[in-house]
């Protein structure tokens, strides 16, 4: 090998022939309008609209209808690798002096399930996913794992349809605020630890975290946590675990910094 990749290596790839053996729901006028609005969000117009339809098809649709049809799992697998490559390349260029370990930690902030879920929410991706009625009734359109998977599959579809450059442009368009945040604060502190330090600088009393409510079925429970200090409400957070909700409540408190209004009171 001469060490040079063929130019076709990262070129648009035709969908596998196997896909055509499954039942295909060709886009209706309504679904095409939805897809066009999603194309505006990503900044990429598909040449093969069936790839986008595949990316937006949840596995529950085939299970519920008991008919073979494509779903987004293979594109999810591909999209995961594409996102990792593009964001790894971005971080490598942004931080030339960082070690492998530090770069790995930064990448984890951008490709975690929570981060992918946030990117999907920015795109309002839940409104576009085609899924079974049972899945939708159980909150599938808002489920973090479903949205994160759909984000990966859409990026995988863009890569297949338009190549690496198209996928890079779409990912950077959607992820740029998160990338900028990492660039500004590469050494992110733990929100709870940061809040603890801020309060201990003015008082011996620490913050208290309380569960305000829990919602949803057991397999998809959401926790709402409030953080208080000296009986005063500092912040609130919602998460899929108590730990996650507490961290978000702490981050909310840090942003508001409301303790500064009454920290002089005994």
pLDDT attached to residue 111: 92
- Which one is catalytic: 54, 80, 135, 252? 80
pLDDT digits (tens, 9 = 90+) for 224-261: 999 999 889 999 999 888 888 898 899 889 888 888 87
Return d(Cα 265, Cα 248) in angstroms, integer. 26
Residue 186: predicted pLDDT? 84
Which of 66, 95, 80 lies closest to 157 in space, CA to CA?
A: 80
Mean pLDDT in runs of 10 for the chain (266 residues)? 42 44 48 80 94 93 72 96 97 94 90 88 91 88 91 97 97 92 79 84 87 83 91 90 88 86 58
Residue 70, pLDDT score: 84
> For residue 110, which of 193, 164, 177 has the smallest C-alpha distance?
177
| DSSP code at position 43 | T
Q: Taking the CA of residue 96 as centre, how many other CA atoms within 13 Å lie in the half-sphere pointing to its CB?
A: 1
Q: Which residue, among 93, 90, 107, has the nearest Cα to 188 in the 3D structure?
A: 107
pLDDT of residue 149: 95
Mean pLDDT of the chain: 83
CB-side neighbour CA atoms (13 Å) of 22: 22
State residue 24 phi and psi, 5-degree precision. Answer: -115, 125
Both tokens of residue 103? 């770069």
Domain annotation for the chain: domains and CATH numbers: 17-184 (1.10.1520.10), 191-262 (3.30.160.20)
Which is catalytic among the residues 76, 149, 152, 252? 152
How far out from the chain centre does Cα 141 lie?
14
Helix/strand/coil percent split, the chain, to 5: 60, 10, 30
Per the annotation, the verdict on 152 as an active-site residue is yes
Burial class (CB in 10 A: 0-12, 13-18, 19+), 184: exposed
Q: Residue 26 has what DSSP assignment? A: P
Location of structure tokens 């492998």? 100
């Amino acid at each position: 090998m001469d060490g040079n990749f063929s130019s076709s290596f990262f070129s648009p790839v035709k969908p596998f022939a196997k896909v055509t053996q499954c039942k295909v729901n060709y886009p209706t006028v309504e679904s095409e309008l939805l897809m066009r609005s999603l194309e505006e969000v990503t900044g990429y117009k598909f040449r093969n609209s069936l790839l986008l339809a595949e990316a937006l098809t949840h596995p529950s649709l085939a299970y519920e209808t008991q008919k073979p049809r494509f779903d987004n799992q293979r594109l999810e697998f591909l999209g995961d690798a594409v996102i990792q490559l593009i964001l790894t390349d971005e971080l490598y260029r942004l931080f030339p002096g960082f070690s492998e370990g530090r770069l790995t930690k930064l990448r984890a902030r951008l490709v975690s399930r929570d981060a992918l879920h946030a990117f999907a929410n920015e795109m309002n991706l839940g409104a576009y996913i085609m899924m079974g009625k049972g899945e939708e009734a159980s909150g599938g359109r808002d489920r973090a794992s479903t949205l994160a998977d759909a984000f990966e599959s859409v990026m995988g579809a863009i890569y297949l349809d338009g190549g690496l450059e198209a996928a890079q442009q779409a990912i950077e368009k959607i992820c740029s605020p998160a990338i900028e945040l990492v660039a500004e604060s590469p050494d992110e502190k733990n929100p709870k630890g940061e809040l603890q330090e801020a309060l201990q600088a003015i008082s011996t009393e620490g913050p208290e975290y309380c569960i305000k409510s829990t919602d949803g079925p057991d397999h998809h429970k959401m926790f709402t946590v409030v953080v208080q200090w000296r009986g005063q409400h500092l912040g609130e957070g919602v998460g899929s675990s108590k730990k996650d909700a507490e961290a978000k409540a702490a981050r909310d408190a840090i942003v508001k910094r409301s303790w500064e209004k009454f920290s002089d009171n005994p």
